[in-house]
Amino acid sequence: MKLTPSEVPLTEPQVKKGLHLIVQDGLMAEAMATLTGGAFLVSYALKLGASNFQIGLLASMPTLTNLFQLLAIYLIYLIGNRRVLSVTTSLFARLPLILISLIPFLFSPSTGLPLLILFLSFHYILGAISGCSWNSWMKDLVPEDQLGTYFSNRSRLIQMLNVGLSLVCAFFLDFIKSRFPQWEMNTYSIMFFLGGLAGLYGVYVVSKVPEPKLAAIKSNVFSLFKTPFKEKNFRNLLIFNSFWAFAVNLAAPFFSVYLLKMLNLPLSYVIGFTILSQATNILFIRVWGKYSDKYSNKTILRICGPIYLCCILAFTFTTMPHSHSLTLPLLVLIYMFNGISIAGINLSLTNIGMKLAPKEGEATAFLTIRGLTNAFFAGIAPIIGGYFVDFFSKRELSFNFEWKAPDGNFILHTLNIQTWDFFFVFAFILGIVALYRLSYVKEKGEVHQKVVINEISSSFRKELKSNAMFQGIKSMFYIPFSIFTILKRKRKIYKYKVSKKADRTAAKLVSYSEKPKKNHTKERKLIKA
């Protein structure tokens, strides 16, 4: 199999074939990530006895290891073949997952946890190098006017796979825990093995994707890193990304830990909430992709960013100070709006970086610098959170309303912040700062967010009107509610008639009072004379 880039521009059939294969690669990569990451990885690490700091370290690895993209950019221009670099590093990045699957059979939990961290570090480091070359490759392969639509459709299919696979694994794990608890560790081992196989098949698929030839760079490779910082607009994007990455990753990696440890929810509930988020993500990813192409990614970020920050802050109200009757309904709303907002955020963050980067060979440097800044701030955030969580676990901040009376006291808990809640509040504040910095970023086609919101709401109303199910529900409720409408209309007509009649009567009285009065005394005197 030849892995050399094409010497001539790619034809339209070649581009279409490549785009189709990239979707398959994304599905395999998502299957690997679902089986070996997220809530399943957290639960597996807790089973091995991981501390809060180690959980934070595991959460930081996928982003912190992106710092190795600095090495990747050097290798890209040294080799000049992004496909070879991406395929080779992906192959060696996914083999450690097979080794992780052997840990429960060969090592005790005390030895297995350090090995888990070690193997995952190799997995993420090599994956970061592969991802850097992949991003540069996709920048030249995907037509710019299709970025939003293509990646939104690809993300939708990926999320659908994530939902189905997560649901099956969650129920299977809960079944094993309840019926065969001695097989729980072996179940995690099987999941890592299957995830590794899916990842290796993805390597085979991506090896068949055609690669456009990389544009030649005359200047020194490392001098390219100065170029992104000279661009004021791209520099503003880096500042926004830094604040946003730190804010989000100070809270988001610990959502699963919060549900498992603070709220004591079973794993199936945690995965269920994640699936709810993914389902709403699937429903809205095409919407955001359509409007990001029509208007701008910045506009989508200004809509979705505040929604996501409110979801983070809402976690603090799930305990008052313990779980309450509204905890589960509140979590449903949080994860539903979380999925809606994160769909637009992830899509727009990816596309705005590609859009502001130049089309020529310098794009790799721009995208890598952006990836490095994201990696650093997103990587240190969960480590800081995991390190200080023990400090905040002994602190608590409460706001209560108390009513004292002779017959008893009444206390209303309005706000209770403890342990992870502090990080949710900090993330909310830093997210507000990030959205402020977003206003300094300039993007072609940006409009006020109200324009997009109004267009989305109007199109949503049209969809409802044309939806047969909605029309059936509407007709079902029309007859009983139409009675009240008719009575209300008749009452308005009656009031209108009464008011009109009163107006006519008042007009007659006014006209009568304005008529000149006859002087009868003067007339009588004239008659006597």
DSSP secondary structure of 180-214 = -GGGHHHHHHHHHHHHHHHHHHHHHHHTTS--BPP
Helix (H, G, I), strand (E, B) or coil at 415: strand
Number of H helices, E strands in the chain: 20, 2
User: Which pLDDT tens digits describe the chain residue by residue (529 residues)?
Assistant: 567 666 667 788 888 888 888 889 899 999 999 999 887 888 888 888 888 788 888 888 888 887 887 788 778 878 878 888 888 999 999 999 999 999 888 888 888 889 999 999 999 999 988 888 888 788 778 887 777 778 878 888 887 888 888 888 888 888 888 888 888 888 999 999 999 999 999 999 988 888 777 766 555 656 667 777 778 888 888 899 899 999 988 888 888 888 887 888 887 888 888 888 888 887 888 788 777 777 778 888 888 899 999 999 998 888 876 777 788 899 999 999 999 998 888 888 888 877 777 765 566 677 778 878 888 888 888 888 877 777 777 777 777 777 777 777 777 766 767 777 888 888 899 999 999 998 888 877 665 656 656 655 665 555 545 544 445 545 444 444 445 555 566 666 767 667 766 666 766 665 655 555 555 555 555 555 5
Give yes or no for a contact between 402 and 410, defined as CB atoms under 8 angstroms apart.
yes
12-464 in CATH: which number? 1.20.1250.20
- Tokens describing residue 54: 């180690």
Please, which residues have CB within 8 angstroms of residue 441's CB and are 6 or more apart in sequence? 233, 236, 237, 240, 298, 352
> Rounded to two decimals, what is the model's pTM?
0.65
Residue 419 confidence (pLDDT)? 76
Place of tokens 């549900």: 259
Residue 469 confidence (pLDDT)? 44
List the beta bridge partners of residue 398: 416
Give yes or no for a contact between 194 and 28, defined as CB atoms under 8 angstroms apart.
no
Give yes or no for a contact between 351 and 148, defined as CB atoms under 8 angstroms apart.
yes
Please, which residues have CB within 8 angstroms of residue 269's CB and are 6 or more apart in sequence? 259
The torsion of the CA quartet 174, 177, 178, 179, rounded to 10 degrees, works out to 110
Helix (H, G, I), strand (E, B) or coil at 366: helix
Distance CA 185, CA 81 (A): 41
Distance CA 356, CA 347 (A): 14
Q: What is the DSSP letter of 48?
A: T
- Tokens describing residue 359: 């089309």
Is the preceding omega at residue 321 within 30 degrees of 0, hence cis? yes
Distance CA 131, CA 213 (A): 18
Give yes or no for a contact between 188 and 25, defined as CB atoms under 8 angstroms apart.
no
- How far does Cα 62 stand from its chain's mean position? 16
Distance CA 500, CA 360 (A): 75
Distance CA 269, CA 167 (A): 10
Phi-psi region for residue 419, left (φ > 0), alpha (ψ -120 to 50) or beta?
left
* DSSP string for 400-411: EEEEEETTEEEE
Domain ranges of the chain: 12-464, 474-501
Give yes or no for a contact between 240 and 441, defined as CB atoms under 8 angstroms apart.
yes
Phi, psi of 410 (to 5 degrees): -130, 130
Amino acid type, 462:
K
